[in-house]
Amino acid sequence: MAPTGNTGAEIDESAGEAASEGEVGPDRSVAVDRSAASERPVPSSSPGIGVRVRRAVGALALLSVPVLLAALPLVPAAALLGPAGLDLAGPGAIGGLLAAVAVGLGGSALLGPIVVDRRIARLPEADLDDRPADFVADRVATLADEVGVDAPAVTVVRADAANVAVADGYRGARLVVSTRLLSLPKADRDAALRHALVRLRTREALVATALLPALAAVETVALLATLLVGRRGERTAADRRVNRIHGYEPERDRIPSWAYAVAGVALWVLLLPAWLPTAVGDRLYVAGGRRDADGAVARLGTAERDGLGNAVAFASDAAGAADWPPLLDRLSLVSMADAETGRVRGTSRQEARTRLARLRSKRAL
């Protein structure tokens, strides 16, 4: 039966089963479990040259986004007010570009953890008793010890989406887990948590968190531009009938549809220099980082590979995607954005299926 656990009862039941298996409970059981985990051989996960090049290109593309956004007002202002006056190639423009690098990257890195923490604070927190809460924290600590990272702070949220997100920054690392993911079978749940911790180890979560405000700004403006371009101009007969019933007919005061289209196209033209590196970075760094973490988890063994495949399949197919904030998509196990947002981001709609195909092939090992 497919798990639907969005309450603390099933997590409590899982905690009881885990305690009987020696995962939690007395200190002696935890020590035995962690000593066994420390003896498990960890396969080599050094990336190849192609993977390193792809990561570098994707990271540079993402790092350029806040710089471009900051350069939009700063470079013209510095060129106008700088020591060379209106000389666009003079020291004023160069100073504006350097200021854009500092303000863009520094401001985004400063705001990123704050934006993520405020969005997480607005999620409905799960009402867990002490026992299941301690169970979740202990499992994360055990898996973090196996992966080789410090255990992050854990926040369990009440959501129908079976997903987990990891954020990092100067405020510390943070893991956001839905109650539905925690209700999955042990192998599936642990594989999903391990996947998030691997992305924490590779610093992908740190980069994505730091650049999230700039990426979210580009995405929001792109959605607005797309909405303006696709705005329906003609009114149907039903619209006119409703207008007559209510005693008004605003046809003469309506803005023509071509005006919205022109505004949308102009907005897209202005946004294109920042949207292109955003789309490239999402494909190469964010989506590629998920695939790299898939491989790192799958190389541990068949149980981890099958568990991660089950978790990805369930998270992408199960209902409840609307419960997961789009802001956390770049930090999550599976992106749960709707089709329109996915098209605006330029990401592949087949990402989950591609990952499942790779996990179920011999290439994963």
Q: What is the pLDDT of residues 101-115, one digit of tens each?
A: 999 999 999 999 999
In this prediction, residue 119 has a pLDDT band, given cuts at 50, 70 and 90, of: very high
Which has more pLDDT, 320 or 243?
Answer: 320
In this prediction, residue 126 has a pLDDT band, given cuts at 50, 70 and 90, of: confident
Question: Looking at the domain assignment, is residue 342 inside a domain?
Answer: yes
Question: Looking at the domain assignment, is residue 226 inside a domain?
Answer: no
pLDDT > 70? residue 203: yes
What pLDDT is stored for residue 124 in this prediction? 87
pLDDT > 60? residue 38: no
Arithmetic mean of pLDDT over the chain: 80
Question: Looking at the domain assignment, is residue 354 inside a domain?
Answer: yes
pLDDT > 60? residue 2: no
Question: Looking at the domain assignment, is residue 2 inside a domain?
Answer: no
In this prediction, residue 235 has a pLDDT band, given cuts at 50, 70 and 90, of: low
Question: Looking at the domain assignment, is residue 245 inside a domain?
Answer: no
What pLDDT is stored for residue 36 in this prediction? 42
What pLDDT is stored for residue 287 in this prediction? 92
What pLDDT is stored for residue 62 in this prediction? 95
What pLDDT is stored for residue 25 in this prediction? 41
What pLDDT is stored for residue 34 in this prediction? 42
In this prediction, residue 50 has a pLDDT band, given cuts at 50, 70 and 90, of: confident
In this prediction, residue 30 has a pLDDT band, given cuts at 50, 70 and 90, of: very low
What pLDDT is stored for residue 84 in this prediction? 54
Question: Looking at the domain assignment, is residue 151 inside a domain?
Answer: yes
pLDDT > 50? residue 24: no
Range of the domain at 190: 48-214+270-364
Question: Looking at the domain assignment, is residue 334 inside a domain?
Answer: yes
Question: Looking at the domain assignment, is residue 332 inside a domain?
Answer: yes
Q: Which of 156-170, 235-249, 351-365 has the lowest mean pLDDT?
A: 235-249
What pLDDT is stored for residue 3 in this prediction? 47
What pLDDT is stored for residue 338 in this prediction? 83
Number of domains in the chain: 1
Q: Give the pairing type, strands 174-178 and 153-157.
A: parallel
Which has more pLDDT, 75 or 43?
Answer: 75
% pLDDT > 70, the chain: 76
